[in-house]
Amino acid sequence: MSLVQRVQMQSAGRSGVMPATIGAVWSVALLLFGLALCETSELAAGVRRVIGEQPTGALAVMSVAGAQFMFMELVADRLCPAAPQTLSRICKLMAAVALWAALAWGVWATWRALRGS
């Protein structure tokens, strides 16, 4: 085995570590932000005062669905490459639909709020 092949084999195992770590951190940040908006905290009250009740709910759902989608896409696929893709695709599709539905809800709620003012 040549030196190039050995280096390629060694780096192949580490190639998924950095994207998986960044994906996990990003997913946790999105999840915590979404859950904080669902609570009756000062952050949620402040956001509700600025953008309204409906866009805040849409932002919370979008954050949680985005966190789930990012985790499945960036972390789970790299940690478990031999997992059955059928179930993975169904879960990703459901998370993506929830993300896009929340985005549409947020656009609709923002448009309604701006039209009413």
HSE-CB of 50 using CA atoms within 13 angstroms:
9
Comparing 86 with 6, which gets the higher pLDDT?
86
Predicted confidence at residue 109, as pLDDT, reads: 82
82: tokens are: 């031999």
pLDDT in tens, 28-69: 888 888 888 887 778 778 888 887 778 888 888 888 888 888
**Boundaries of every domain in the chain:** 17-109
78: tokens are: 């790299």
Phi, psi of 14 (to 5 degrees): -95, -5
Predicted confidence at residue 15, as pLDDT, reads: 59
Q: Which long-range contacts (CB under 8 A, 24 or more apart) does 5-10 make?
A: none
